[in-house]
């Protein structure tokens, strides 16, 4: 987790999950980012990821971003102190 200036960024290396359709990112209550991923590999072997990250500051819900590039997921949001009180899925922009 990187808090530089007015932006909070979370960088997560997930090389087994290189396509955004296998990953779900949501913010819960303005205080937690929840990342889930699932994929079926060779021999029908399933791989799962379920991570939660607590945030020290409230986030601006309307400006949350998630980007995926070569197995690296970056979730960023500006801090503004207002927070949110519900769940919201964050679309992931896949970069090649």
Please give the torsion angle defined by the CA atoms of residues 17, 77, 94 and 15, in that order, rounded to the nearest 10 degrees. -20
Please check whether residue 66 is in contact with residue 93, taking contact to mean a CB–CB distance below 8 angstroms: yes
> For position 83, what pLDDT does the model report?
54
Higher pLDDT, 43 or 62: 43
* Strand order, beta sheet including 46-54: 46-54, 32-40, 23-28, 87-90
Please check whether residue 73 is in contact with residue 23, taking contact to mean a CB–CB distance below 8 angstroms: yes
Biggest alpha carbon–alpha carbon distance for the chain: 47
> For position 62, what pLDDT does the model report?
67
> For position 31, what pLDDT does the model report?
73
**For the chain, which domains are there?**
2-95 (2.60.40.790)
Look at residue 82 and tell me whether its pLDDT is greater than 80: no
Task: Enter the pTM of the model.
Answer: 0.73
Helical segments of the chain, H only = none
Higher pLDDT, 90 or 61: 90
Residue for token digits 């290396």?
A: 13
**In this predicted model, what pLDDT tens digit does every residue of 3-60 receive, in sequence order?**
777 777 889 999 888 888 889 998 787 678 899 999 888 888 888 999 998 866 566 6
Distance between first and last Cα of the chain: 23
**Confidence band of 74 (pLDDT split at 50, 70, 90):** very high
């Amino acid at each position: 987790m990187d808090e530089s200036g007015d932006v909070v960024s979370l960088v997560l290396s997930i090389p087994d999950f290189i396509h955004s359709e296998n990953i779900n990112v949501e913010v819960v209550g303005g205080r937690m980012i929840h990342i889930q991923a699932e994929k079926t590999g060779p021999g029908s072997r399933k791989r799962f990821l379920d991570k939660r990250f607590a945030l020290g500051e409230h986030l601006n819900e309307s400006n949350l971003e998630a980007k995926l590039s070569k197995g690296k997921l970056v979730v960023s949001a500006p801090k503004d102190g207002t927070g949110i009180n519900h769940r919201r899925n964050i679309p992931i922009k896949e970069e090649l």
